[in-house]
Structure 1
């Protein structure tokens, strides 16, 4: 059981791909996406994960997280039980100083959306901001993966 401190940002260009040291495909869904908690099933390449996340703090930066590895077969089976709107994305990792940015490039109904996340040790911790980092969207619920399944990015465009 941990508490994560995380900030989210929009990404303004594909320049991060040149800086990425790792990338992998993620398929995930939600068994429960209640505002008080979410229960996520994730298939990351050939590994499965079951994660429970609590409600975010008012500023959206802090929340409880519990995660356990499960078999990829179990993850595949659980994905069949998930709420509508399975998320498909490639995650890139960019190391910058003592921090790692995780950048998600979404596909399917969320194609065109790219979000960078950084986990911090303290709420007001300083970190280097790369040129491709755009507007901060921490705490904006529409950018939560659990919401992107229900109201995908392509439905936002008018």
Structure 2
């Protein structure tokens, strides 16, 4: 149950023409400690609870456990979450041998667009689409748990 992923900023919305699907996500954190985050999420018409461990030194991998729960239970748990809840739209974009998930944030994180790609190994090679910009892997400011406590619109510089 190890998640291996890389994150990137997105320089434009050209990815939208290749989006296979999109859905709304609302999520909050029962615990946002970077050693053990506990996330509650409503993704489309499904609810989830997820526990994530501390990221590796390079930020590429960490323990992740996720369980589907009833939406009504997720809604009740969201009321118990820390600070503020994140709202975003996720787009799924297949590109060659990988699938990018691009999150377009709303509300207090409006203006932030992050692409993630899950990999099979930390050294897996993949081609990057031209709409990707800087790599954000390992930069804790772009973890959703951080964004829930320090929204993007409150940053002094974007």
If the length of structure 2 is used for normalisation, what is the TM-score? 0.98
Residue 82 (structure 1) aligns with: 81
Residue 54 (structure 1) aligns with: 53
Residue by residue, what CA displacement relative to the aligned partner does 1:98-122 show, whole Å, maximum 9, x if unpaired? 2100000000010000000000111
CA distance in 1 between partners of 2:31 and 2:144 (Å)? 12
CA distance in 2 between partners of 1:106 and 1:96 (Å)? 22
Deviation of 1:35 (Å): 2.0
Q: Helix, strand or coil for the counterpart of 2:149?
A: coil
CA distance in 1 between partners of 2:8 and 2:34 (Å)? 21
Q: Which runs of 4+ in 1 moved over 2 A?
A: none
Residue 151 (structure 1) aligns with: 150
Residue 5 (structure 1) aligns with: 4
Aligned pair 1:140/2:139, yes or no? yes
Deviation of 1:84 (Å): 0.8
Deviation of 1:46 (Å): 1.3
Residue 41 (structure 1) aligns with: 40
Residue 111 (structure 1) aligns with: 110
Residue 26 (structure 2) aligns with: 27
CA RMSD of aligned residues (A): 0.7
Residue 121 (structure 1) aligns with: 120
Contact kept? 1:15, 1:132, Cα under 8 Å:
yes
Residue by residue, what CA displacement relative to the aligned partner does 1:96-145 show, whole Å, maximum 9, x if unpaired? 12210000000001000000000011111111100100000000000000
Residue 131 (structure 1) aligns with: 130
Residue by residue, what CA displacement relative to the aligned partner does 1:60-116 show, whole Å, maximum 9, x if unpaired? 100000000000000000000000120000000000122100000000010000000
Q: Helix, strand or coil for the counterpart of 2:66?
A: strand
Return 5+ residue gaps in structure 1 as ranges. none
If the length of structure 1 is used for normalisation, what is the TM-score? 0.98
Residue by residue, what CA displacement relative to the aligned partner does 1:31-63 show, whole Å, maximum 9, x if unpaired? 001121100000011100000000000111000
CA distance in 2 between partners of 1:25 and 1:88 (Å)? 7
CA distance in 2 between partners of 1:122 and 1:47 (Å)? 28
